[in-house]
Amino acid sequence: MFDFILITSLVLLTLSILAAIYRMVKGSSAPDRVQALDFIGINLIAGIAIVSVLLRTHAFLDIILLLGILSFVGTIAFARFIERGVVIERNSK
């Protein structure tokens, strides 16, 4: 029963990743696309954690940590880019 719940949650995570990929492709603005990409990263972390529980191993925990760090750095880099763009617009007026 527990394995069925984990597999069902993997299927639902896959569907939400597909919805986020659609949002990333059809996003109206760059922040929408970055938010969808961050959402995909979070779902990948959750999916890898579920696979780790299914396989009863701790081998994937390093991958989870690496993916979390990369997702965080990417989000911060985009936030700095947006912040710098806003500052440039204010100074040009």
Predicted TM-score of the model (pTM):
0.81
Structural domain boundaries, residue 56: 2-92
Instruction: Convert the pLDDT of each residue in 10-27 to its tens digit.
Output: 999 999 999 999 999 988
- Per the structure, how many domains does the chain have? 1
Instruction: Convert the pLDDT of each residue in 28-41 to its tens digit.
Output: 888 888 889 899 99
CA-angle at 79, arms to 74 and 85, nearest 5°:
130
Instruction: Convert the pLDDT of each residue in 44-83 to its tens digit.
Output: 999 999 999 999 999 999 999 999 999 999 888 888 888 7
Q: Which two tokens stand for residue 47?
A: 């999916």
Percent of the chain, pLDDT > 90?
63
